[in-house]
């Protein structure tokens, strides 16, 4: 028998292990706490306490955790979870989850997998789905077909609207203004929209693009006198009335309506809209006039919608001179996603163009920004078009062996002008008499150009070295020193390196071919 005395464990005096038998756990006073069976037996606990658990749990089988928390079994094949000494929820013997209740009898058998609350519980209960303000919360219904949700209840926080799906398609939407839209969402204000053909407005009016049938109509016009009866074909609320080629007959235009505030034209084919034709040598002007009171106030807007979603607009605004009201600016906005429309370009009252958000993209090679309106120097200018800008990296190469880049290795190209820079080191050849030539330039030079080179750990004497592209090749850089007398200068060779790790800084600006 072996006796272990874990003095550091409060309340336990010894743990006894009988050779070939079992492990017995005793209190300090010798009272047996539990015998854990050997290989041939099974030891069970009616209750287990973890930590400073002092809660008395009346379940036959339980795990007490700290003060007031427990996992217990009051009924066979069920689990109860409690805190603060009270049961919070249970999983019953049929796998049903019960919160704030202990019975399934108050729920229908087809809807009792999760039950919250009971009729005897004097409390309010609910479920809240919380998401960020640019996300949405969803309750989905699926029959398991291909991972698709056939039904959805969804609230979209970015647009503040609620929508319902059936057969995997949106069928009804309640907008942030309280409008209820069924299939076919339209931008008219207020009311119930049914498809794209019928609208019941909040003021009691209704518009229909089809035929209206009723058992009775009020007011047939029989009480009118002193007028010639006029027939209005296809008449309906808000339709614009036009003449016809039949006497005393007018037509209600189903595709052109005016509700007292807005003129609406519906089209079912391409190429329809407002057509204005000037006869003779005349011009056309469309004018909008709004007496706004504050700087930056909107005067007018040309708005584009995609399936009723605002995706782009061009707007005209008042300027800063609110006294004379004779200045203004134009703003162009687009939307990267629904609800995210932002200004992209602005033309202010001085004629300056500001790209508010985005890049100026030249879509065709050979085009760019034309500076021909600016003054020229005394020489003859052959081109005033800035047609390229580029930043990037380049990988230098050595004509003998290898070389490493310590830093930089970058270039910038503006129009035809290229500037590159690099710090080279770790040349594998530091002893041969071969001239050093650096390759890998990003663009071919149009001729011969001279740049600067800074050499360290070399035996170059008092000679001044430069880097030249276009000497041996328009794609190679030679390292050459100035002329010493009547010679034409000379090359830097690998044996001029006086150290195993020499350094070479190159900065060179040249024009492309």
Extract the tokens encoding 116: 């919250």
Q: State residue 349's pLDDT score.
A: 92
In order of 160, 162, 169, 222, the CA distances from 178 in angstroms are 10, 10, 21, 40
Transcribe 331-356 into DSSP letters: EEEEESSTT-EEEEEEE-TTS-EEE-
Tell me: the pLDDT tens digits for 49-63?
666 545 455 565 777
Lookup result for tokens 């879509």: 363
Query: Which residues, other chains included, contact 272 with Cβ-Cβ below 8 Å and sequence gap of 6+?
Result: 265
As a residue count, the chain comes to: 513
**Starting at the edge strand that comes first in sequence, how are the strands of the sheet with 180-182 ordered?**
136-141, 151-156, 161-166, 169-174, 180-182, 192-194, 198-200, 206-208
Lookup result for tokens 């689990």: 79
Q: State residue 3's pLDDT score.
A: 47
Write out the chain's pLDDT in tens, 513 residues: 444 444 445 555 555 555 555 566 555 566 665 556 544 555 555 666 666 545 455 565 777 776 678 787 777 678 888 887 777 878 887 788 978 887 888 888 788 888 888 888 888 888 899 999 888 889 888 887 777 888 888 889 988 888 898 887 888 888 888 877 776 555 445 566 666 677 776 666 777 777 767 676 566 656 656 657 788 988 999 999 998 888 889 999 988 999 999 999 898 899 888 899 999 999 999 999 999 999 999 999 999 988 888 899 999 999 999 898 999 999 999 998 766 889 999 999 999 999 988 888 888 888 888 888 887 877 777 788 888 999 999 999 999 999 999 998 999 999 999 999 999 999 999 999 999 999 999 999 999 999 999 999 988 877 889 999 999 999 999 999 988 777 678 899 999 998 888 999 999 999 998
Q: State residue 30's pLDDT score.
A: 62
The whole-angstrom separation of Cα 357 and Cα 343 is 7
Show the CA angle centred on residue 7, arms to residues 5 and 10, nearest 5°: 120
Q: State residue 328's pLDDT score.
A: 94
Which residues make beta-bridge pairs with 206? 200
End-to-end CA distance of the chain: 96
Transcribe 445-497 into DSSP letters: BSS-EEEEEEEESB--TT--EEEEESSS-TT-EEEEEPP-SSS--EE-BGGGB
Q: State residue 429's pLDDT score.
A: 93
Tell me: the pLDDT tens digits for 184-214?
555 445 566 666 677 776 666 777 777 767 6
The whole-angstrom separation of Cα 413 and Cα 130 is 50
The pTM assigned to this predicted structure is 0.46
CB contact at 8 A, 240 and 253: yes
Beta-strand relationship, 249-258 and 231-233:
parallel
Q: State residue 428's pLDDT score.
A: 93
The whole-angstrom separation of Cα 316 and Cα 299 is 5
CB contact at 8 A, 63 and 55: no
Please, what sign has the CA dihedral across residues 304, 305, 311, 316? positive
Q: State residue 412's pLDDT score.
A: 97
């Amino acid at each position: 028998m072996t006796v272990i005395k874990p003095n550091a464990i409060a309340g336990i005096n010894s743990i006894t292990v009988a050779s070939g038998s079992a492990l017995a756990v005793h209190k300090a006073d010798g009272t047996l706490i539990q015998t854990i069976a050997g290989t041939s037996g099974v030891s069970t606990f009616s209750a287990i306490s973890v930590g400073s658990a002092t809660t008395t749990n009346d379940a036959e089988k339980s795990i007490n955790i700290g003060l007031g928390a427990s996992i217990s079994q009051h009924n066979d094949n069920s689990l109860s979870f409690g805190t603060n000494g009270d049961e919070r929820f249970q999983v019953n013997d049929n796998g049903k989850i019960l919160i704030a209740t202990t019975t399934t009898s108050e729920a229908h058998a087809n809807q009792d997998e999760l039950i919250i609350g009971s009729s005897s519980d004097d409390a309010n209960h609910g479920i809240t789905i919380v998401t960020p303000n640019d996300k949405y919360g969803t309750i989905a219904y699926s029959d398991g077909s291909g991972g698709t949700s056939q039904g959805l209840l969804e609230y979209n926080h970015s647009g503040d609207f609620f929508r319902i799906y059936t057969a995997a398609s949106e069928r009804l939407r309640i907008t942030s203004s309280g409008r209820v839209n069924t299939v076919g969402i339209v931008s008219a204000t207020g009311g119930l929209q049914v498809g794209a053909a019928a609208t019941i407005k909040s003021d009691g009016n209704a518009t229909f693009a089809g035929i209206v049938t009723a058992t009775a109509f009020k007011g047939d016009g029989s009480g009118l006198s002193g007028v010639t009866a006029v027939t209005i074909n296809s008449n309906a609320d808000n339709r614009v009335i036009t003449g016809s080629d039949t006497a005393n007959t007018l037509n209600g235009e189903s595709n052109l309506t005016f509700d007292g505030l807005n003129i609406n034209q519906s089209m079912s084919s391409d190429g329809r809209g407002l057509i204005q034709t000037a006869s003779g040598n005349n011009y056309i002007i469309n004018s909008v006039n709004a007496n706004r009171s504050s700087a930056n106030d909107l005067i007018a807007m040309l708005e584009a919608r995609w399936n009723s979603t605002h995706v782009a607009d061009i707007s005209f605004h008042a300027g800063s001179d609110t006294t004379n009201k004779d200045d203004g600016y134009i703003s162009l906005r687009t939307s990267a996603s629904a609800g995210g429309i932002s200004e992209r370009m602005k033309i202010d009252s001085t004629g300056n163009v500001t790209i508010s958000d985005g890049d100026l993209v030249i879509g065709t090679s050979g085009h760019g920004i034309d500076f021909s309106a600016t003054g020229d120097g005394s020489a003859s200018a052959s081109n005033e078009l800035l047609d390229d800008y580029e930043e990037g990296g380049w990988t230098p190469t050595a004509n003998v062996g290898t070389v490493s880049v310590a830093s930089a290795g970058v270039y910038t190209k503006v129009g035809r002008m290229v500037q590159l820079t690099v710090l080279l080191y770790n040349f594998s050849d530091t002893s041969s008499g071969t001239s050093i030539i650096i390759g890998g330039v990003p663009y071919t030079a149009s001729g011969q150009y001279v740049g600067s080179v800074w050499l360290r750990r070399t035996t170059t004497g008092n000679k001044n070295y430069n880097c030249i592209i276009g000497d041996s090749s328009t794609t190679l850089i030679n390292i050459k020193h100035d002329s010493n007398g009547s010679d034409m200068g000379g090359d830097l060779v690998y044996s001029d390196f006086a150290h195993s790790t020499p350094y070479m800084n190159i900065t060179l600006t040249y024009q492309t071919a």
